[in-house]
Structure 1
Amino acid sequence: MPRKPHALFRALFAAIVLTVAGCGGVSLPTETAPMEPGNPSDGYLIEPGNRVRVIVFNEPSLSGDFTVDPSGNLAMTLVGNIPASGIGPKVLGQRIETSLKKDGYLQSPKVAIEVQSFRPFYVLGEVRQPGEFAYTNGMTVLSAVARAGGYDYRAWEGEVLLVRMIDGKQKEYRATERTPILPGDIIKVPQRRL
């Protein structure tokens, strides 16, 4: 009859397995997210559904708030539909200036664009209500987590990650609660290790 392993041996084996399993985790990025808040409009590409304020200097009748339609166009009085999706506010302003000038409405128009509603940000992981949330200018990781109902009891609060699109590529950073967020950012709150 074969001998049964001793209870101490089983306990030691279980402790080793749990220790090794706890050591193998996801490697976290070493680079910290930028702390300058930045202007959310810088580098922002307009998309369908965005609301923008068009300011035509000295022409209040042409100025106003407009929504980019589902096909990516901005419909304005006098100039009609202007392609707006996939370009920045500065380029959109230049397109409107060109159209106003070309059609003979104004000799030297000056147009400024302010984005009024941005793409949402996302909070994932160990928060009470993960999901998509409307961006508000000046937000930080802490205010984003608060919008998601706060940290869950399993949250590893000191290891929050921020994922941001930089030059068309996703980049992952370590973030603190004071780290500013931008439209489209993804905040990941990992689970605390044992």
Structure 2
Amino acid sequence: MPLILLSAANCAPPQTGVMAAPLPDAPYRLGSGDRLRIVVFDQTNLSGSFAVDAAGMITLPLLGTVPAEGKTPQELKAVLEQRLRKQFLREPNVSVEIEAYRPFFIFGEVAQSGQYAYIAGMTVEQAVAIAGGYTPRGRRGPVQLARRDGADVVRIEVPLTTLMRPGDTIFVQERWF
């Protein structure tokens, strides 16, 4: 009986270069829809869970509205400590943590387009699965991804293994055959 060996590399589908330009990989910036856990040490009445509203603000006891959109959690911490120091406390010590990220969006040729909760470390492929998978006409390859980069939005075709960020928008295209 003859023995035939096949190389697995010859059986695999060809890989295509998809990414034309890099996606922004800047530090995470807060935005509308994020939920924050803010702790002012030794001040339980100033601590709590706060949502970044549609205007990009958070509303805190004593301080009122504070701009949060576009800031990193560390930058927001510095702003809060500065405002508390000016008005109420000698040496405020503030902690800012992201309790829940803003949602991501997916549309196109998926079973259920819409808005979904972001999970840290999620890939585009996992996002497609969360949306119920592809429709029969869905292209099972690279997708279009839109990501905010400061004031700009970067739109690029990416492979399914791309890591997502909160607020990303995915568009699954239709296949032609």
Query: Fold match, TM over 0.5?
Result: yes
Q: CA deviation at 1:168?
A: 2.0
Give the alignment of 1:39-78 within 5 angstroms: 42-47=27-32, 49-56=33-40, 58-59=41-42, 61=44, 62-69=46-53, 72-77=56-61
CA distance 1:193–1:71, shift in 2 (3 Å): closer
C-alpha RMSD of matched pairs (Å): 2.8
In the alignment, does 2:65 pair up with 1:82?
A: yes
- Runs of 4+ residues deviating >6 angstroms: none
Task: Identify, as 1 or 2, the structure richer in strand.
Answer: 2
Q: Deviations over 1:31-69 (max 9, x none)?
A: 2665x9x78xx342333x53211133x426243322345
Partner of 1:31: 20
Percent identical pairs in the alignment equals: 34
Length, aligned pairs only: 159
Partner of 2:139: 156
User: Does the Cα contact within 8 Å between 1:45 and 1:85 map onto a contact in 2?
Assistant: yes
User: Does the Cα contact within 8 Å between 1:125 and 1:189 map onto a contact in 2?
Assistant: yes
In the alignment, does 2:123 pair up with 1:140?
A: yes
Partner of 2:149: 166
Which ranges of structure 1 fall in alignment gaps of 5 or more residues? 1-28
Q: Deviations over 1:155-176 (max 9, x none)?
A: 1111322111223222222222
Question: How many Å separate the matches in 1 of 2:54 and 2:114?
Answer: 23
Question: How many Å separate the matches in 1 of 2:63 and 2:175?
Answer: 54
From the CA coordinates, give the structure whose radius of gyration is larger. 1
The two structures have a TM-score, normalised by structure 1, of 0.69
Task: Identify, as 1 or 2, the structure richer in helix.
Answer: 1
User: 1:121 pairs with 89, 95, 104, which one?
Assistant: 104
